[in-house]
Homo-oligomer: A and B are copies of this chain.
Amino acid sequence: MSRRQEIVDAAETLFAERGYHHTSMQDLGEATGMLRGSLYAHIQSKDELLVEIVQRAAAQFLDGMAEIVHGPGTVPHRLREAFRHHVRVVTGNLAAAAVFLFEWRHLPPDVRKDIAGRRDRYEGLWRSLLSEGQADGTLSVEDPAVAAIFLLSAGNWLAQWYRPGGRLSADQVADQFFRLAMDGIGSQKEAAS
């Protein structure tokens, strides 16, 4: 791993734990065992690190999702893949996801605008998949925008509570959440009445 990558990884962890504003270049130096001056040989500023982390996360969310939505299979199949993808991006790098989800407010205005645009596109892909299922009858969706945010809530909140090595693996959580979202928790009895 390059020294630069080492610094970016340390920044992800520290920004997620303490918040962007509460992480100093000195903290980054201590985490990587590098002197302040050496850090500046690899990066220009703390800002640059935040921008890189958030843009990389945005790209991960977006690229995988576009492939799934425009890929083969029924809508429920693609929706399941999309949900797994989202959960994998979040749990695969919890620190980066937390920075992306909670620290983006601290981005410089131009980057913030770019990221807001990519979030809109990402959520748009979810809405279009849900609309497709509404239209072809494979999903029972009243309002695709509300359903999208309902699904994404469960995926995003993972960044707050999920820790590897617990009772359930990330894929198990994803599949249980997806089944809950598809089948609902109302009993068959209730549904039939």
Residues of A within 8 A of B (CB): 19, 21-22, 76, 101-102, 130, 133, 137-143, 146-147, 149-150, 152-154, 156-158, 160-161, 168, 173, 176-177, 179-191
**A146 & B182 in contact (Cβ 8 Å cutoff):** no
**B176 & A142 in contact (Cβ 8 Å cutoff):** yes
Partner of A191, one of B149, B168, B180, B183: B183
A157 neighbours in B (Cβ, 8 Å) = 149, 152-153, 156-157
**A140 & B19 in contact (Cβ 8 Å cutoff):** no
A19→B173 CA distance, assembly (Å): 30
A133 neighbours in B (Cβ, 8 Å) = 185, 187
Which residue in chain B gives the minimum CB-CB distance to A172? Answer: B146
- 4 A-B pairs with the lowest CB-CB distances in the bound complex, closest first: A184-B184, A153-B157, A182-B186, A153-B154
A154→B139 CA distance, assembly (Å): 20
| Least Cβ–Cβ distance between A145 and chain B, in angstroms | 8
A19→B150 CA distance, assembly (Å): 26
Copies in the complex: 2
**B180 & A139 in contact (Cβ 8 Å cutoff):** no
A138 neighbours in B (Cβ, 8 Å) = 187, 189-190
A190 neighbours in B (Cβ, 8 Å) = 76, 138, 182
**B183 & A137 in contact (Cβ 8 Å cutoff):** no
**A176 & B143 in contact (Cβ 8 Å cutoff):** yes
A161 neighbours in B (Cβ, 8 Å) = 149
| Least Cβ–Cβ distance between A129 and chain B, in angstroms | 11
A180→B22 CA distance, assembly (Å): 39
